[in-house]
A = this chain, B = another copy of it.
Amino acid sequence: MPEAASAPATRAVIGDSEFDRDTEVVRRAPGVYDIDLSAGWTIISAVNGGYLLAVLGRALADTLPHPDPFTVSAHYLTASQPGPAVIRTETVRTGRTLSTGQASLYQYDAEGNEVERIRVLASYGDLAALPDDVRTSAVPPAMPPLERCLGPADGPAPVDGSSAITERLMLKLDPATVGWAVGAPSGKGEMRAWFGLADGRDADPFSLLLAVDALPPTAFEIGLTGWVPTVELTVHVRHRPAPGPLRVSITTRNLAGGFLEEDAEVWDSEDRLVAQSRQLARVRLG
């Protein structure tokens, strides 16, 4: 198994891992949850958007009658910072197969007023209840085995500012998509990586919400530098991931008018397409 080479001696399990502890929300009242956003999931100057999505995803899983996020649409309003936050959820509709909810995450300004960071609409279901039919024409990304891919220790520091999140992840980039790190971007809007959690915890639907927004931005390989803040990100979780490392492929086809889309696919160790996402991001020239 390829993950054996990079996994820690003792693997964390789902429910008792760094990721589980840092995304845990505490119900204060029905539909109201507290969390202390961990500084361990920051990149450059803000809390990672995928981590936030997992936090909101867990709050909605508590609120709604179905356990698994099927489709989550997030609009990012202001940059989240490590520290206290409150999440307010609403049940929009419950049905037999799907239920829909809404959630907002707030932090506080200097005067203690709530400032909304991110708002999501999401439809939940039960992945275990789906029929097992697959008629897909999608194929996994072509990329070298994990052992031949590159982690942060293999190159120069990729960005200024915090890179705390890289210590939480097992992220090994396809060498064909790391030109940006040595000043030679390919010009193609592609990034591919093996992905896991650093403590060896296997993937579940909530860590898929993290996985779709955890790679360096495709914009780097197009030759842009600087910050590429997400305006909106929608992710579809299509299957419960099998144990083992994931492959994440992100692509940008259309950079125009100062915005770009970034599409992600996440594949599990059994060659299942377990998640798809698309985000609209702004280009801030660095």
Contact = CB atoms under 8 A, between A and B. Distances in A.
A188 B98 CA distance: 28
A100 B77 contact: yes
Contacts of A116: 92-93
A280 interface: yes
A116 B135 CA distance: 33
Contacts of A234: 73, 232, 234, 278
Contacts of A165: none
Interface stretch (A15-23, A36-44, A201-209, A254-262): A254-262
Contacts of A280: 70-71, 123, 236
A119 interface: yes
B121 A119 contact: yes
Interface string A207-242: 000000000000000100000000110101011000
A255 B71 contact: no
Main secondary structure of the interface of A (DSSP, over half): strand
Contacts of A133: 255-258
Given A92-B77, A232-B123, A276 B256 contact: no
A98 to B, nearest CB: 7
A188 B123 contact: no
A130 B73 CA distance: 24
A261 B232 contact: no
Contacts of A135: 222, 255-256
10 contacts: A71-B280, A100-B119, A102-B119, A130-B258, A135-B222, A135-B256, A232-B236, A236-B278, A236-B280, A278-B278
